[in-house]
Chains A and B, each alone.
Chain A
């Protein structure tokens, strides 16, 4: 049990009016302070390379994606959001996905696919907005997932930097 001792009010406080005046001046000054509201659609949230948005497939400079449909990301995905059907190709890498779908409604933006990928084909972008009129429209296929390398460069550099830290032997640090 806590006994709170009430402070004896001074005369000015008992009169209410001086205190009301103080409160009013406080709120009047508050009216001219800087606004904290963010006008969201026009003023999007600031993002940087650490932002883990929706996963996207990197389009290399030759116009192809790096994915060889190995299925590592599909296995790593804790939400079963990724579906891959592999196929053959005449390019040197021999295999490429015929179908690479990510159900964005299932994706939890954990970034495991990015970690799992051995070919640096999938990276987390800074895109966070997701809205449509049907669920089906939010299952993204390859064409919707493709992003040019330049758009993802910052994130790619960041992931490399992060991974380099672990690759260095601890004795040299």
Chain B
């Protein structure tokens, strides 16, 4: 097979990875219901397709055929654009996740990621962080008190936890000396190097907590908060725009899980098998990612929601000082050449 032009390789890679992302997001909507059912001694959706695997398709069809409502007094432009703003950033952020190293597939040599940037970790944070605008604007433009409160909470929560998230990632970046996710992942592949989860346990813990807060998931889902705010920012949404918010949430969860895998679990690294072929590494990467995704669901159906003052206390009085301390200690240890 002749070597394809570069743009064709890019287009194919982008199509495959985005298709996979949407597939994972769709499966997550099923997994959410399945896991909730299992934890509550139930079976969960099992009617559509084998084990209910086609349930997301049925849901999608249903969403498309639902009536679209725009509340009276809402800002129509912002109301329409907000779900797209919520879903798009997470989908863009997946572009730099290094799923596997260089592979040779159908005669093409290429890296298994849409693209590689020297600042990819910053890119994920910067672009992924924009997803909050969709939630805030959706809440504000709905002309509803519940939506507005949901949007307000999302904004406050985002500002509080973004800092700890970045600081916890910075400790890992300082350790690897690069902002490139691929370099960070490759640095943990060597057989005599421990994964970052062992070298930076505190950063890992902070990252995992912030990851829940950043994606507005339990126990930090204050923007939605269905017992108090009906549905929070998406109270007034219906039809496919409502589904887009969920797509965005699941995509953001997937991206965060990928990020956690790359930063702390060494990407596709398999212990005691340093020269694993690329497909084994990819499978390992996906397994680690799925573990994080399962953690999301597991925690959601286990823990109750925090109170808002507890959220703020935790964010500002515990997480932030710990993250700063951790970064400082890491820098000191690097300067003393302990690492």
User: A residues engaging B (CB < 8 A)?
Assistant: 17, 20, 23-24, 26-28, 30-31, 33-37, 39
**B38 interface residue, CB < 8 Å from A?**
yes
Q: How far is the CA of A81 from the CA of B161 in the complex (A)?
A: 65
Contact pattern, B 38-51, Cβ under 8 Å of A = 1, otherwise 0: 11111100000000
12 pairs of residues in contact across A and B, judged by CB atoms under 8 Å: A20-B299, A23-B303, A24-B299, A27-B39, A28-B298, A30-B38, A30-B40, A31-B39, A36-B41, A36-B42, A37-B37, A37-B41
Q: How far is the CA of A17 from the CA of B303 in the complex (A)?
A: 12
Closest Cβ–Cβ distance, residue A28 to chain B (whole Å): 7
Q: Which residue from B38, B205, B299, B303 sits with its C-beta under 8 Å from A31?
A: B38
Q: Assess whether B41 is in contact with A33, with CB atoms less than 8 Å apart.
A: yes
In the complex, the 10 A-B pairs of residues with the closest C-beta atoms, listed nearest first: A27-B302, A31-B38, A37-B43, A36-B41, A27-B39, A37-B42, A23-B302, A30-B39, A35-B43, A24-B302
Closest Cβ–Cβ distance, residue B99 to chain A (whole Å): 28
Closest Cβ–Cβ distance, residue A64 to chain B (whole Å): 44
**B301 interface residue, CB < 8 Å from A?**
yes
Residues in B with CB closer than 8 Å to A33 are: 41
Q: How far is the CA of A26 from the CA of B42 in the complex (A)?
A: 16
Residues in B with CB closer than 8 Å to A30 are: 38-41
Residues in B with CB closer than 8 Å to A39 are: 43
Closest Cβ–Cβ distance, residue A7 to chain B (whole Å): 17
Additional 17 contacts, C-beta under 8 A, given A24-B299, A27-B302, A37-B43: A17-B205, A20-B303, A23-B302, A23-B303, A24-B298, A26-B302, A27-B298, A27-B301, A28-B298, A30-B40, A31-B38, A31-B39, A33-B41, A35-B42, A36-B41, A37-B37, A37-B42
Q: How far is the CA of A28 from the CA of B302 in the complex (A)?
A: 9
Q: How far is the CA of A165 from the CA of B35 in the complex (A)?
A: 52
Residues in A with CB closer than 8 Å to B299 are: 20, 24
Residues in A with CB closer than 8 Å to B303 are: 20, 23
- Closest chain B residue, CB of each to CB of A27: B302
- Closest chain A residue, CB of each to CB of B301: A27
Closest Cβ–Cβ distance, residue B220 to chain A (whole Å): 13
Q: How far is the CA of A26 from the CA of B37 in the complex (A)?
A: 15
Closest Cβ–Cβ distance, residue B271 to chain A (whole Å): 23
Residues in A with CB closer than 8 Å to B43 are: 35, 37, 39
Q: How far is the CA of A34 from the CA of B38 in the complex (A)?
A: 9
Residues in B with CB closer than 8 Å to A20 are: 299, 302-303
Closest Cβ–Cβ distance, residue A59 to chain B (whole Å): 37
Q: How far is the CA of A35 from the CA of B44 in the complex (A)?
A: 10
- Closest chain A residue, CB of each to CB of B46: A39
Residues in A with CB closer than 8 Å to B205 are: 17
Residues in A with CB closer than 8 Å to B302 are: 20, 23-24, 26-27
Q: Assess whether A34 is in contact with B298, with CB atoms less than 8 Å apart.
A: no
Residues in A with CB closer than 8 Å to B301 are: 27
Closest Cβ–Cβ distance, residue B164 to chain A (whole Å): 15
Closest Cβ–Cβ distance, residue B205 to chain A (whole Å): 8
Q: How far is the CA of A31 from the CA of B36 in the complex (A)?
A: 9
Closest Cβ–Cβ distance, residue B294 to chain A (whole Å): 10
Q: Which residue from A23, A28, A34 sits with its C-beta under 8 Å from B41?
A: A34
Q: Assess whether A35 is in contact with B298, with CB atoms less than 8 Å apart.
A: no
Residues in A with CB closer than 8 Å to B39 are: 27, 30-31
Residues in A with CB closer than 8 Å to B42 are: 35-37
Residues in A with CB closer than 8 Å to B37 are: 37
Closest Cβ–Cβ distance, residue A29 to chain B (whole Å): 10
- Closest chain B residue, CB of each to CB of A31: B38
* Contacts of B11-47 to chain A: CB distance below 8 A: 35, 37-43
- Closest chain B residue, CB of each to CB of A20: B303
Residues in B with CB closer than 8 Å to A24 are: 298-299, 302
Residues in A with CB closer than 8 Å to B38 are: 30-31
Closest Cβ–Cβ distance, residue B297 to chain A (whole Å): 10
- Closest chain B residue, CB of each to CB of A28: B298
Q: How far is the CA of A33 from the CA of B42 in the complex (A)?
A: 10
Q: How far is the CA of A39 from the CA of B37 in the complex (A)?
A: 14
- Closest chain B residue, CB of each to CB of A33: B41
Residues in A with CB closer than 8 Å to B41 are: 30, 33-37
- Closest chain B residue, CB of each to CB of A36: B41
- Closest chain B residue, CB of each to CB of A22: B302
